[in-house]
């Protein structure tokens, strides 16, 4: 019984990370129809930046987090303005290749700037746990779950209750119509990139204490694909639910299936979903008109 609860907690925490990275995919996809293969690498940059502010420059944890998220978000906006805006409306292939290329550049940048060592991020929650009903609740895992919930609440309010959030939604649903309504579409896209990169950075910061920081941290982005696809790729709640599902499946297959299944569980789910129900749990089927 305890082991099951423990797995649920850990699975939810891991799932939150997948969900956050998937959320980043979905935000960008909804707005610009680009699938950002570099999302995981943005997360990696977020974790490294936070580490740098804490350990190299001696900032406090919260200041460092704020600085890291802000700088990665700014970087995301600049990236959109300088690079990604140019490929809007080009075939998917070009975009996929572009973001893959960017991801490689980021990894290379990280390994040159921060070296190829493996770091641990010191946090106020590190290595502390509370026993709740026979289950050891690690504070790091709780911080991930709480952080995700808070972030989602903020994003929800932002997208539904603020003028700028609604304008963003409009811009993603119909670029041209939004433009005619006087919405600065380019600015909105840059903002969405900023938000998405910021979310990735937060995911990185939350993940860093339980994982380790190295340049390959971004490969978690691949598992987040599974989350995004499971949720329907266009649906924000779907991304989170997908992330949680993948997290749970992964931990359970690690516990109950033969060795090796844990690492590929997410991909097997991804393939199954794509083969059986390509629109995911929350997606709608669309059909091109001829």
Partner 1 sequence: MRFAFKTSYAQDLGLFRDRVQRNAYIALFLALLVLPRLVPEYLGDLSLVFIYGLCGVSLMVLAGYTGLVSLGHSAFLGIGAYAHVYFAQDLGVPWVVAVALAAAVTAAAGVLVGLPALRMTGVYLTIATLAFALIIQEVFTRWDRVTGGLKGKPVQKAVVFGLPLGHEVGFYFLCLAFLIAGLWLTSNLLRSPTGRAWVAIRDSEVAAQSMGVNLAVYKTMAFAYSAGLMGVAGALFAHKIGFLAPDIFSVLLSIQFLLMVAVGGLGSLHGAVYGAVFVAMLPVVISQARDAVPVWLGQVFAVFGREAGRAVFSLVDRFVKQPGLEPGIFGLILVLFILFEPLGVYGRWRKITLFFSTFPLYKHATFKRQKSYMRSERLR
Q: Which spans of this chain sit near partner 1 (rule: CB under 8 A)?
A: 32-33, 35, 83, 86-90, 92-94, 96-98, 100-105, 107-112, 116, 175-176, 215, 222, 225-226, 229, 233-234, 259-260, 263-264, 267-268, 270-271, 274-275, 278, 286-290
Identity of the residue, 92 or 162, whose beta carbon is nearer to partner 1 in the bound complex: 92
Contacts of 169 (CB under 8 A, 6+ apart): 159
Q: Indicate the Cα dihedral angle 73, 95, 41, 275, nearest 10°.
A: 120
Q: How far is the CB of 66 from partner 1 (least distance, A)?
A: 28
Q: How far is the CB of 112 from partner 1 (least distance, A)?
A: 5
Q: How far is CA 268 from the centre of its chain?
A: 20
Identity of the residue, 90 or 130, whose beta carbon is nearer to partner 1 in the bound complex: 90
Q: How far is the CB of 36 from partner 1 (least distance, A)?
A: 11
Identity of the residue, 157 or 272, whose beta carbon is nearer to partner 1 in the bound complex: 272
Q: How far is the CB of 263 from partner 1 (least distance, A)?
A: 6
Count how many Cα atoms sit within 13 Å of the Cα of residue 97 in the half-sphere of its side chain.
6
Q: How far is the CB of 116 from partner 1 (least distance, A)?
A: 6
Give helix 236-256 / helix 2-32 axis angle, nearest 10°.
140
DSSP-derived letter for residue 52 is I
Q: How far is CA 82 from the centre of its chain?
A: 22
Spatial distance between the Cα atoms of 187 and 51, rounded to a whole number of angstroms: 30
Identity of the residue, 202 or 265, whose beta carbon is nearer to partner 1 in the bound complex: 265
């Amino acid at each position: 019984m305890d082991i099951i609860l423990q797995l649920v907690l850990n699975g939810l925490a891991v799932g939150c990370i997948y969900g956050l990275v998937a959320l980043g995919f979905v935000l960008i996809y909804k707005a610009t129809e680009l699938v950002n293969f570099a999302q995981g690498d943005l997360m990696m940059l977020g974790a490294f930046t936070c580490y740098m502010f804490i350990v190299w420059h001696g900032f406090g944890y919260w200041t460092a987090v704020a600085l890291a998220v802000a700088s990665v978000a700014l970087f995301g906006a600049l990236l959109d303005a300088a690079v990604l805006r140019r490929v809007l409306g080009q075939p998917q292939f070009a975009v996929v290749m572009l973001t893959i290329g960017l991801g490689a550049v980021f990894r290379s940048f990280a390994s040159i700037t921060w070296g190829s060592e493996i770091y641990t991020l010191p946090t106020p929650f590190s290595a502390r746990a509370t026993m709740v009903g026979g289950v050891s609740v690690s504070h790091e895992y709780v911080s991930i779950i709480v952080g995700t919930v808070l972030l989602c609440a903020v994003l929800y309010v932002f997208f539904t209750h603020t003028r700028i959030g609604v304008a963003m939604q409009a811009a993603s649903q119909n670029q041209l119509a939004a433009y005619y309504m006087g919405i600065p579409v380019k600015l909105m896209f840059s903002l969405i990139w900023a938000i998405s990169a910021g979310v990735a950075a937060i995911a990185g910061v939350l993940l860093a204490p339980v994982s380790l920081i190295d340049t390959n941290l971004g490969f978690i982005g691949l598992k987040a694909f599974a989350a995004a696809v499971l949720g329907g790729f266009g649906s924000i709640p779907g991304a989170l639910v997908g992330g949680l599902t993948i997290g749970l499946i992964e931990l359970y297959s690690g516990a109950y299936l033969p060795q090796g299944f844990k690492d590929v569980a997410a991909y097997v789910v991804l393939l199954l979903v794509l083969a059986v129900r390509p629109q995911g749990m929350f997606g709608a089927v669309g059909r091109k008109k001829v």
